[in-house]
Structure 1
């Protein structure tokens, strides 16, 4: 490996990992801590990636496991109740701002298990089998969690969408 392999890896994957962690943890502090932990672990054991076929999926799985470990250390299994983080790009149009705020709240209202699959499916474009691999669950469970999550988001957004009709 070249000397700057870690920097290149960070440049390629850190943004996606941070978005995934922020979406799940709903805490910038927790997301930053876990992200730093992932790259520190890789720096101390560069051979961790030897033989890995899908680096992004591997890093997402590593980040997910570290977040769960953080929650366990802090004796919690869900993110702390908080205002959902800003996960959508800023908008000028007041309707777009309102919809993005409603969508952020709808996503934040999902249980972590559903939110993680919805994020991986929509933001990372992973298949259910890949989502299952990242999260350590069966593919059918990933598909069910996605379906339940999307149904809940649809129900939560329905009043917002009906306002604009």
Structure 2
């Protein structure tokens, strides 16, 4: 029995839980400060991944596919919440610690977090997926259904704005 289960390929939901859950949770926390929305979207995304008939071997880019499902569930959840304006929160400030806590000091992390949170939602999303999600511009474009040039522009302008904000802090 154990040998058969070890040979079995994981489902999309199992892969999302075992390999991607920190990235997914971090991504959602970067988009909203509402813990309930984060939990609901994560659970609904896993449910969708369980229900999909598509097999992992049929998907060209599994990470991009999973982030697409998560993003679509987030958009659906937000529309149900009357599209209320999202606020910054202390939850979102965990983003840098999730990614690489040992590479920056606490003061640097706080400065980076503060600068990141001052970006537009669109810029934050792209920067998070690129840096913390490890996705390429092409993968981000594919998962968000936004042109790759727009993704690259949001990333570039977001980084420029962060640089300006960080210069002001020093």
TM-score scaled by structure 1? 0.82
- Counterpart for residue 134 of structure 2: 125
- Counterpart for residue 95 of structure 2: 87
Moved more, 52-61 or 19-28: 19-28
2:165 pairs with 1:156: yes
Q: Work out the number of aligned pairs and report it.
A: 158
TM-score scaled by structure 2? 0.80
Moved more, 49-58 or 101-110: 49-58
What is the alpha-carbon root mean square deviation over aligned residues? 2.6
Asked if the contact 1:121–1:131 (Cα under 8 Å) also holds between the matched residues in 2, the reply is yes
Query: Moved runs in structure 1, 4+ residues, more than 4 A?
Result: 1-4
- Counterpart for residue 68 of structure 1: 75
Shift of 1:11: 0.6
Gaps of 5+ in 1: none
Asked if the contact 1:108–1:115 (Cα under 8 Å) also holds between the matched residues in 2, the reply is yes
CA distance in 2, matches of 1:8, 1:82: 29
- Counterpart for residue 110 of structure 1: 119
SS at match of 1:119: helix
1:47 pairs, out of 36, 53, 69, with 53
Gaps of 5+ in 2: none
